[in-house]
Amino acid sequence: MTVATDTQMRDVVVTATAATTALAPDLDGTWSALVAGESGIRALDDDFVVRYNLPVRIGGKLREHPAAHLSRIEQRRHSYVQQLALVLARQVWQSAGAPEVDPQRLAVSIGTGLGGGDALVSALEALNTGGYRTVSPLTVPMVMPNGPAARVGLEIGAKAGVFAPTSACASGAEAIAHAWRLIATGAADIVVAGGVEGYIEALPIAGFAMMRALSTRNDDPRGACRPFDRNRDGFVFGEAGALLVLESAEFAAARGARVHGRVLGAGITSDGYHITGTDPDGDGSARAMRAAIAAAGLTPADIQHVNAHATGTPVGDSSEARAIAEVTPHAAVYAPKGALGHSVGAVGALEALLALNALRDGIIPPTLNFEQHDGAVDIDVVHGTARREPLTYGLSNSFGFGGHNVSLALGRP
């Protein structure tokens, strides 16, 4: 397959988007709610909260389960993340107009943090209660982390490659970065990309609570996650899935596709610092941001908006704030996790879509619960009410356990 040289890098555009979140079952509803300053974080009413006496009892659960759009057979044969990927893929593919493309020029790149953990738990329960003959023969395909990407690849007949980044909380953003490179270098004409993640359950809550990474403001769900705020005490789990269709600008123009935005470049770095802790000086984050800007052919002064990873943890937010202040100190910053929670492998893709909406509409939603600056680093965090101003270029940052750093450079349509 012919790959373009650096001097022949192709422009990459977004021709369709789809998402489901704790605020709405679609991207438009989510976006409107975010601009209005609404929150999707609420008290959890699941039985497991009481059964295990969990110290954290809040989260951003989806407004609609993906199973509502699938047949019973599809529900039985797919893990939760695969169900989510299939539903969103069908939506985004139809939204793109179900384009006619050579399968050998069509690829998929979908990330997830944990894969089909629910299927693994179910298989183990079956094994313990009924023996090995009660374990589904589909257990392995349902559990494997590449399952969502593989299922979507089969759904649309992609033959230019199926990619499945598992880079913790940077997975969705890294999937978009790989999609951008595939198209920009000429390896594909269209890529379905994004991220999905499993639902809120007792085990991840317990694990992160023991790490003291979660907010324990159970009596104030809306005010629990406080990105960049002096009184932040941890993140809040959220559920989400987000996919988009990327195309070469030439291919999209030839078929008359609507353009929602542009992916201009990507930067991927690693901290080499700690398995869970981020480099406190923000070096890896800053290098990813600079790499994305350079790949886009821009300068730091061109970046007007940064969609921050900002989870609401004390060290993580300070680290990212230092990187933003060092690279793009003038940019208007938005942190969506205050309203949506942290959806791990899906969040990088979701927040890239939110950044594209901000550029398209010239609107930056307010960061919820930002009341007192911590005083360590001064950055322009949009809060209180949405800010309206013309926007052309922005960055979307995503960072994950293990020291994964991804920054996407984005442009308006």
Active site residues: 169, 309, 342
Classify burial at 327, counting beta carbons within 10 Å of its beta carbon; exposed 0-12, middle 13-18, buried 19 or more. Answer: buried
Please tell me the distance from the alpha carbon of residue 8 to that of residue 40, in angstroms, as a whole number: 43
Query: How many Å apart are CA 369 and CA 366, to the nearest integer?
Result: 9
Structure tokens at 256: 């008359």
Token couple for 216:
């324990």
Spatial separation of the C-alpha atoms in residues 67 and 354, rounded to whole Å: 25
95: its two tokens: 């939204």
Name which of 299, 111, 325 is nearest 197 in CA terms: 111
- Are 10 and 184 in contact, with CB atoms under 8 Å apart? yes
In b/e form, how buried is each residue of 168-203, taking b as 16+ CB within 10 angstroms?
Answer: bbbbbbbbbbbbbbbbbbbbbbbbbbbbbbbbbbee
Tokens of 125: 């329960």
Cα→Cα distances 359→140, 317, 392, Å: 41, 23, 6
Q: Nearest-CA neighbor of 328 among 307, 359, 348?
A: 307
Cα(360)–Cα(260) distance, rounded to whole angstroms? 7
